């Protein structure tokens, strides 16, 4: 997984083209590094799963 792939996935989540995206344990640090550089990083919600996977959704305002 590279930076361009992650940015494309984040855009798909923003546009609701996809509802969720599952990040594997081996890709988590790379994905998170790109995610945290986004202006709207706070609007992405990660739900940790057993086995180290995380399911991300885009939910603007969920932290309020």
pLDDT in tens, the chain (64 residues): 899 999 999 999 999 999 999 999 999 999 999 999 999 999 999 999 999 999 999 999 887 7
Question: Which pLDDT score is estimated for 61?
Answer: 86
51 three-state secondary structure = coil
Domain boundaries defined on the chain: 3-58
Question: Which pLDDT score is estimated for 26?
Answer: 96
Nearest to 55 by CA among 6, 21, 11, 7: 21
């Amino acid at each position: 997984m590279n930076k361009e792939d992650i940015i494309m996935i984040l855009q798909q989540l923003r546009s609701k083209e996809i509802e969720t995206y599952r990040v594997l344990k081996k890709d988590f640090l790379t994905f998170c590094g790109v995610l945290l550089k986004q202006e709207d990083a706070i609007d992405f919600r990660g739900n940790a799963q057993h086995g180290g996977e995380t399911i991300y959704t885009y939910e603007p305002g969920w932290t309020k």
